[in-house]
Amino acid sequence: MTLHSKSWTLKPGAMTLADLRAVWAAPARLILAAEAYPVIEASAAAVQAIVAKGDAAYGINTGFGLLAKTRIPDEKLEQLQRNLILSHSVGTGELLSDAVVRLIMLMKIGSLARGFSGVRPLIVDTLIALYNAGIMPAIPAKGSVGASGDLAPLSHMTLAILGVGDVRVNGELMAAPQALAQAGIAPVVLAAKEGLALINGTQVSNALALHGLFMAERLLEAAMVTGALSLDAAKGSDAPFDARVHAVRGQPGQILAAQMYRQLVAHSAIRASHLEGDERVQDPYSLRCQPQVMGACLDLLGNAGRTLLIEANAVTDNPLIFQDGPNGQAEIVSGGNFHAEPVAFAADTLALAIAEIGALAERRIALLIDATLSGLPPFLVRDPGVNSGFMIAHVTAAALASENKSLAHPASVDSLPTSANQEDHVSMATFAGRRLDDMAHNTAVIVGIELLAAAQGIDFHRPLKTSPHLEHVHQQLRQKVPFFDADRFFAPDIEAAKQMVLRGELSSTCKSLFAPLYA
């Protein structure tokens, strides 16, 4: 089993995006704040009181969905909860990554620990034990419509604490009973309400959207670096980044983006070489309007991040237990917090940003390979004709940019009624979040190709150097990919550049420059 030297304390309802980003990036040992336990215990006691009283309460002693009017005898309540999990474990498709599953488990633990869900501390502690042991439930990616909770994928998560099905440990599939036994974790028997509390909620949709957000952050940083590199490769002007231009418009993301571009290209000898005598009056939009486009993307990421952080700390199962009912008694209230419309909208806006980051980068690649626009050798290679150079690498970028246009179609505008029309409007948030990974990988390839093309352009300007920031990026690339002096097997170069983008290597030495993105 995997234990982690780093640990942090979860205070339910108080997670930050930095916390979530860290959990997404790497495992860490989780400790639940001690003050959470009394409210969890009080909520569980309230459920037991309702059972003892005998009044019908949805999800506690009734059926589910359209079967809510079916009263379940007390002696069958444990069976009811187990059957709920087994019958709802109907997911399909590839398994969600460990990074996404960590986020799902963390947010479910945090939600249950706020004390409105009626589960025993045992349930929360067992989830924490799995998390800390590196036992990741095997959760298929498909099968949720993002309303009434992410029922199918969260059921697959819950199977693990029952000791049913498969889990993943250190990247390898293992039977859940074996993994739990090796970690010394006893499977649980669910009590009243617990199964429903575990599978109701937006944690899967939100985890997928957060994954998309964190990928988009890396893409934004990388594309700003490659865009600045392309500017110098094409001997473009830094005048459009003048702070006064952006101040009079007032868009905050644009102002911040322009500031970053000014810092990225500062002290470039290539820029200094054509400050005077340059006959060009204005650069094409893909160079000149970078602050306007990337700034708008930055604002979208910020807006989405705020929504997803609220959701990460939220209680989204149903029904909920409130301790402030009539006469000071606990009250169970049925609502609809499981409807993931806020997440769907956030994911759809992230899709727009990811698509536009790639679309703008593709246009800069097209500019660089066109000698009439860039002033560089055709297709960025010596002896063009014999060599095709970057001709077809640009075609790949164009294909992926076009694919992203289709994937960016909003998922939130779709709805198919389920559960015999009881659940008659759904959010499709799970797909809205899930498709962001494909889009991010597409854009990472596009930005990676731009990195290769822009670095090639910089090499054609030697012995002149670009800015200190960009020279370092150029050197990083050249340690992995040599100058393209003649046609060669190109796919490995593109993959190496893509991985630099995905790992955040293009901004690794100038993190302070990008720090305002996360303020």
Contacts of 271 (CB under 8 A, 6+ apart): 232, 235, 238, 265, 467
Q: Within 10 Å of residue 87's Cβ, how many Cβ atoms?
A: 11
Q: Which of 58, 131, 285, 518 is catalytic?
A: 58
Contacts of 49 (CB under 8 A, 6+ apart): 330
**In 75-163, which ranges are continuous DSSP H helix?**
77-88, 98-112, 121-132, 151-162
Structure tokens at 161: 């604490």
CA-closest candidate to residue 86, choices 191, 162, 175: 162
Q: Are 405 and 120 in contact (CB under 8 A)?
A: no
Rounded Cα distance, 347 and 412, in Å:
9
Give me the sign of the Cα torsion angle 477, 481, 484, 487. Answer: negative
Rounded Cα distance, 494 and 449, in Å:
6
3-state secondary structure of 511: helix
Q: Which residue do the tokens 């952006």 mark?
A: 246
Whole-number Cα distances in Å, 181 to 27, 138, 176, 187, 191: 21, 17, 8, 9, 22
Phi, then psi, of 172 in degrees rounded to 5: -110, 140
51 class by beta-carbon count within 10 Å (0-12 exposed, 13-18 middle, 19+ buried)? middle
Structure tokens at 3: 């234990």
Whole-number Cα distances in Å, 180 to 69, 76, 136, 176, 195: 37, 26, 11, 6, 19
Helix%, strand%, coil% for the chain, nearest 5: 60, 5, 35
Classify residue 78 by its DSSP letter.
H
440 class by beta-carbon count within 10 Å (0-12 exposed, 13-18 middle, 19+ buried)? buried
The reply to whether 58 belongs to the active site is: yes
Structure tokens at 471: 């020279």
Q: Are 108 and 150 in contact (CB under 8 A)?
A: no
| Longest Cα–Cα distance in the chain | 89
Structure tokens at 440: 């991010």
Residues with a catalytic annotation lie at 58
